[in-house]
Chains A and B, each alone.
Chain A
């Protein structure tokens, strides 16, 4: 089995991404959720750097740098500040119990792997086999957004979905063009800031961050 070392490392990091996605799915505390999100970003940076080093794609180094600054340092810091200001360190409420969510997640992983198989057979990148994991991460983040009732975990799910998309782009085509990546990074940053303002508005209006209250149209 002559799998090269870099490919092995990328595979291990991809498995770690998947593991962190599941850990986020099963996590009950918001603080740990944010820390896991930061870790996911760190794994993403490491795998991007390895891909960049192996293939000599210069712009991947820059995008790894952007990821490091934005998703490992800045966004977790903003989120930590946010939950301190909002005083929402309590346990996350899930709509479905956690073992069921995990089993649903397992089904999603099988779906994603099957979807990715024909695509990765056509691709020629060194990272093609990790495409399935990237898609699974995106789907698992979706699942997290669906199963949580509070606003902050939903936003973290959204951000981690962006991580998954970025990972998918790296594994399928060695990353998107630099302009697109910069645009997405800015979008995510501005999005988080806007969400933060929304959180305060929601709490002011409904006295809670539970999004159930927003489903009622009238008082």
Chain B
């Protein structure tokens, strides 16, 4: 793919867009959840206020914290930003996209996770290690399922590059793929597990026995915590964007078109709002599971992913 000015422009717009919009998306999900639970809610811009508050505070480090602990928030943020730059949100003409295909994308998420888990264990508190172990338990089950989802989409488009996949899926005649339906359900399960949402983990909890993600970042404060929270918001938005790109890619701009930008932007915002609403609804109607049920939950995701792939071979070849 040759470098074009429109490509560079789209790349810049969408990398900045996802990063800047991420806290707003988190705020939207929280607000929807508050509405569903008959609360008034903190407002859409609360995540930004939180970040601002945290940035203005003085950072406190635990005794014996190594450089790893200090650098992890930056690594985490960089990984999520990289992921946000690869996912085609507005256009498929991204000069940056060949940097990583879907398999490398899964690797980028894994890299961030490994650093976070190591940093959690670095301090040596019981909660940090406990959170890291639980996170790894969830992650090693979620990762193969996510790969299966990507492979199903790759089989349809004969490429592992996310931009090519989206181009193929968005610009074809309308065919219902049963395999993609299986993959969509599997992706939803992985999405909930990887982003520490309710059936697997509760993002709002401060109850030590049940938390996974929160337990790992207990020792962080001020700007480090702000970076981590921001990275988490970007991860949630990037995952949502991947889901949108794979399963409802309509409205994405083809290479070399300028005039489609407002439509693409409008379509993306509408889809993001709908996804946030759906996520909040899902989180309201379901209860958190015991941690020991998580393997079964993610086993189901893996099963559905593999079934999707098999059905692709049997029915659609």
Residue in A3, A11, A14, A110 whose CB lies within 8 Å of B310: A110
Q: How distant is A205 from chain B, measured CB to nearest CB, in Å?
A: 35
Contact with A along B280-313 (1 / 0, CB 8 A): 0000000000000001100110010011001101
Size range of the chain A interface in the assembly: 20 to 34
Q: Are B315 and A102 in contact (CB under 8 A)?
A: no
Task: Check: A26 CB closer than 8 A to any chain B CB.
Answer: yes
- Most interface-central of B172, B182, B315 (chain A CB within 10 A): B315
Q: Are B175 and A106 in contact (CB under 8 A)?
A: no
Q: Are A102 and B303 in contact (CB under 8 A)?
A: yes
- Give the CA-CA distance A11 to B180 in the complex, in Å: 12
Q: Which residues of B contact A22 (CB under 8 A)?
A: 303, 307
Q: Which residues of A contact B296 (CB under 8 A)?
A: 26, 98-99
B313 to A, closest residue via Cβ: A113
- Give the CA-CA distance A72 to B295 in the complex, in Å: 33
Q: How distant is A176 from chain B, measured CB to nearest CB, in Å?
A: 23
- Give the CA-CA distance A14 to B307 in the complex, in Å: 12
Q: Known A14-B315, A15-B315; judge A113-B310 contact (CB<8 A).
A: yes
Task: Check: B259 CB closer than 8 A to any chain A CB.
Answer: no
- Give the CA-CA distance A104 to B202 in the complex, in Å: 32
Stretch at the interface among A29-37, A84-92, A127-135, A161-169: A127-135
Q: How distant is B313 from chain A, measured CB to nearest CB, in Å?
A: 7
Task: Check: B178 CB closer than 8 A to any chain A CB.
Answer: yes
Q: Which residues of A contact B307 (CB under 8 A)?
A: 18-19, 22, 106, 109
Q: Known A1-B173, A18-B307; judge A26-B314 contact (CB<8 A).
A: no
Residues of chain A whose beta carbon lies under 8 Å from any beta carbon of chain B: 1, 3, 8, 11-12, 14-15, 18-19, 22, 26, 98-99, 102-103, 105-106, 109-110, 113, 116-117, 129-130, 132-133
What are 29 A-B contacts with C-beta separation under 8 Å?
A1-B316, A3-B175, A3-B316, A8-B175, A8-B176, A11-B178, A11-B315, A11-B316, A12-B176, A12-B178, A12-B181, A14-B315, A15-B182, A15-B311, A18-B307, A22-B307, A99-B295, A99-B299, A102-B299, A102-B303, A103-B303, A105-B303, A106-B306, A106-B307, A110-B310, A113-B310, A129-B314, A130-B315, A132-B314
Smallest CB-CB A-B distances: 7 pairs: A15-B178, A99-B299, A11-B315, A132-B314, A12-B178, A129-B315, A113-B314
